[in-house]
C-alpha cells in the first residue's frame, strides 16, 4: 500500500459547518490509505460531527481541543491552532510513517494533491489559489528550488505560506519533538515550519508540477445573514442532530 496520509482538520460549530465537512469528507473518500483527524474546537464531541463521520465512513479519529479561554475574547483569534496541535499530538502517539497535512474544513482540494503529497520525505510545498489580493500564494521556483515566496502578505515571515500549501513527513515530525504551532495569528504556518528546523529551503520538495499548478483553493463561505434559518440545531435537511 502507499504511505498513509494523516489529514488534520480543525472544525467548529457555525451554520456552514455541516456543509463544509460534507464537501471535504466526500472529497477525502476518494483517497486510499487516508486517516482523517477531525478535531473540534469544542468542550466535547458534538452529535452533528459524530453522526456525519459515521455516515461518510472515511477512516477517522474524532477529537476535541478547545481554543484556550484567554484567546476567545480576542478580535483576531488563533483559529484552529489548539485543534492542529492536538492532531500533532495524536500523530506522535499513534503514527509511525506517512505524511501529515492540515486541511481546513472550508478549503477546496483537487484529488491529485493528495497522491503527490503522500511521498513527501521532509516538507513539501505547492501553490494555494484564491488567497489575498494577489489571488495566489506560492513558492517562487528557480532552477528547481525555492528562491522566494509570492504572497500578498509577507509580514517578516521566513515561510510566507498558507496552511493548505504544505505537507510534512510523519517521521520528520517525530524527529523534531518540540515542533508545534504557535498561538500567533498570521504566524501559525511560519512558526510551525520554523519549529521543524533545521529545514533548509533547498530541502523543500516542490509539488504540483514544480508549483505551476493550483490544486488547492483557500475558499471561504459567505456568511448567510438569515442566521435563524441556518441554525443547524433547529433546521437541517438530515437526521444528523
Ligand atoms: N476554526 C476553529 N475555531 C474557530 C475558528 C476556526 O476550529 O474559532 C477552524 C475552522 O473550522 C478551519 C480553521 O480553523 O478549519 C481555520 O479557520 P477559518 O477557515 O475561519 O480561517 P481562515 O481561512 O479565514 O484563515
Ligand atoms: Mn478558511
Contact between 99 and 123 (Cβ < 8 Å)? no
Model confidence pLDDT, tens digit, residues 83-100 = 999 999 999 999 999 999
Beta bridge partners of 69: none
Instruction: Identify the residue whose C-alpha is closest to ligand 1 atom 25.
Output: 79
Res 226: pLDDT: 77
- Mind listing the pLDDT tens digit for each residue in 132-164? 999 999 999 999 999 999 999 999 999 999 999
CA distance 76 to 184: 9
| Mean pLDDT, all residues of the chain | 95
User: Is 106 one of the annotated binding-site residues?
Assistant: yes
R_g of the chain, CA atoms, integer Å: 18
> In this model, does residue 13 exceed pLDDT 50?
yes
Give the binding-site residues of ligand 1, using a 6 Å CB cut-off: 10-12, 41, 67, 77, 79-80, 83, 104-106, 220
ipTM of the complex: 0.99
User: pLDDT tens, 179-202?
Assistant: 999 999 999 999 999 999 999 999
Residue whose cell numbers read 466535547: 44
* pLDDT score at 224: 83
Report the distance separating Cα 214 and Cα 110, nearest Å: 9
Q: How far is residue 61's CA from residue 45's CA, in Å, rounded to a whole number?
A: 11
Mutate to test the pocket of ligand 1, among 10, 132, 221 (most ligand atoms within 8 A of CB): 10
Backbone angles phi, psi at 39, to 5 degrees: -120, 115
Amino acid at each position: 500500500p502507499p504511505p498513509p496520509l494523516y489529514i488534520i482538520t480543525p472544525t467548529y460549530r457555525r451554520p456552514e459547518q455541516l456543509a463544509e465537512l460534507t464537501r471535504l469528507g466526500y472529497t477525502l473518500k476518494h483517497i486510499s490509505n487516508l486517516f482523517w483527524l477531525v478535531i473540534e474546537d469544542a468542550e466535547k464531541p458534538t452529535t452533528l460531527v459524530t453522526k456525519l463521520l459515521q455516515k461518510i465512513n472515511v477512516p477517522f479519529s474524532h477529537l476535541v481541543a478547545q481554543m484556550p479561554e484567554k484567546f476567545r475574547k480576542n478580535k483576531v483569534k488563533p483559529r484552529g491552532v489548539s485543534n492542529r496541535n492536538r492532531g500533532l499530538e495524536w500523530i506522535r502517539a499513534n503514527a509511525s510513517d506517512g505524511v501529515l497535512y492540515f486541511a481546513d474544513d472550508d478549503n477546496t482540494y483537487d484529488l491529485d494533491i493528495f497522491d503527490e503529497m503522500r511521498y513527501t520525505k521532509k516538507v513539501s510545498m505547492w501553490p494555494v489559489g484564491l488567497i489575498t489580493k494577489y489571488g495566489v500564494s506560492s513558492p517562487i521556483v528557480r532552477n528547481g528550488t525555492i528562491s522566494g515566496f509570492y504572497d500578498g502578505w509577507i509580514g517578516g515571515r521566513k515561510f510566507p505560506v498558507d496552511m493548505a500549501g504544505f505537507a510534512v513527513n510523519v517521521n520528520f515530525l517525530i524527529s523534531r519533538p518540540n515542533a508545534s504551532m504557535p498561538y500567533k495569528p498570521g504566524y501559525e504556518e511560519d512558526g510551525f515550519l520554523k519549529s521543524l528546523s533545521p529545514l533548509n529551503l533547498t530541502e523543500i520538495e516542490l509539488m504540483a508540477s514544480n508549483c505551476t499548478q493550483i490544486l488547492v483553493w483557500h475558499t471561504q463561505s459567505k456568511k448567510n445573514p438569515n442566521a435563524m434559518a441556518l441554525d443547524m440545531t433547529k433546521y437541517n435537511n438530515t437526521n444528523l442532530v
